[in-house]
Structure 1
């Protein structure tokens, strides 16, 4: 698929997906960008040589969320009667959280600027969020008389806790990168000019681990969110049994034993 709305690059085993509509602040509600994000996720999911996906935005914004001009003129996915708009959401922007949630490789959001509304939720769909010191976050749907229609009610409380998520959604307050770090919305804040470099460093650390193991680890962590301890232990035993029979496990064991033997000889 030839992409027009995003950039998609391979850097070794790391995939970099850049929202490439800076003219509309990387709004997410156009069918073109939705389809391309979904397709890129499927490419990464199918190709086991990928270990990590980094998601960022071109220009000064990460993503401003929905296209306000389309809302005002009731165009695009905001057109039609309530039943039609419901289907527009289900067949449109809601494909993005599903595509990212189904993606087994670890994902990193490199939040380069404002992440507002659906843009904030998009960052929350990733496993790790690293923020530029120019990043801003806002769960601002209520200020437009809307609710988070793209999965924000699922993702945000799981990251910052129920009460804090409610406060952000009810007040529509915009927070800066340092407050986002304090409440656990992001794991790190970096100088703006070093954001992508830092995210690639983290992605490279992750990519050093076996791809199959990374995929199972991520899936286990996601499954465990809604399971009891007994269910999680059962699933863990099943995944671990598979891991014990991978060539990567054998290679790692041999390397570990070799290092131990070398250390003993030095003693």
Structure 2
């Protein structure tokens, strides 16, 4: 895959958007490749956690504007709606629904639809050189790829309004203070720290994590009564897994559990 580097190491898959010459801006081909990697990581029982990152000095800056320009030069209107529905939405929903932990390793600038990809991940670790940029308004567009949805789950409405309508930028320290990311590290330590987190997740009960993800996103929208019932439903599933039995035995035997993701 020319635009993606896909690696598997000791139960971890690493997906690197590899278009550093355009700050990892993406086109339809790149998004198709990204979705294929996510699907493969989902199906591979040996993969227990997933890392998404970018090469060079950016994580992802959204759609490649040169790709947009190529349509305009042909006298065609760029199909923003179709691009979102066919490609970006599929990637975002793949990350959310993937029954394994997905880690965003944010190595630099993240902008536009790249924000949606980063925020959709379950755990966000960022370099101190990371910058979060809402640039849609600067080119006469509205935020897409779920970025406003995720922002409103983390920070206040006034702050979101300011950020998206003034074309704002949030540095790594401010992002950590606001709760947009889980961990902030020195740039030189980002890869090492990311691998440590991925390894820790890879040792966890994978199926229970997948069910917990379902529960968290279900809880966003439902009443307490509905959530309580859904919890009971998911707990029945989690309670029948091998990892639950191992966890229970390990607790009673006062030892560290060895989870297999089953």
Query: What TM-score, normalized to structure 1?
Result: 0.88
2:181 pairs with 179, 186, 189, which one?
186
Trace 1:1-267 onto structure 2 (pairs within 5 A): 3-28=1-26, 30-74=27-71, 80-81=76-77, 84-259=79-254
C-alpha distance in 1, partners of 2:80/2:208?
A: 40
**For 1:25-60, what per-residue CA distance to the aligned partner results, in whole angstroms no more than 9, with x for missing partners?**
1102x1111101111111122223322111100011
Q: Is the 8 A contact 2:49 2:101 kept in 1?
A: yes
Kept in 1: contact 2:6–2:15 (CA 8 A): yes
Aligned CA distance change for structure 1 residues 96 and 245 (closer, same or farther; 3 Å)? closer
Higher mean displacement: 168-177 or 86-95: 86-95
How many residue pairs get aligned? The number is: 255
- Once the two structures are superposed, residues 124-150 of structure 1 have per-residue CA deviations (whole angstroms, 9 ceiling, x without a partner) of 111121110111111111111001232
Distance 1:140 1:250 in 2: 49
Q: Distance in 1 between matches of 2:42 and 2:114?
A: 22
Where does residue 263 of structure 1 map in the other structure? none
Give 5+ residue unaligned stretches, structure 1.
Answer: 261-267
Q: Which moved more, 1:90-99 or 1:30-39?
A: 90-99
Give the match's secondary structure for 1:94.
Answer: helix
Larger radius of gyration: 1
Greater mean deviation of Cα atoms: 190-199 or 243-252: 243-252
Q: RMSD of the alignment, in Å?
A: 2.0
2:176 and 2:237 map into 1 onto residues whose CA distance is: 36
Counterpart CA distance in 2 for 1:189 and 1:85 is: 33
**Alpha-carbon separation, structure 2, partners of 1:182 and 1:15:** 29
Per-residue deviation, residues 135-169 of structure 1 (Å, max 9, x unmatched): 11111111110012322222221222433222210
In 1, the alpha carbon distance for the partners of 2:82 and 2:241 equals 43
Give the distance between the partners of 1:79 and 1:39, measured in 2 at CA.
Answer: 32
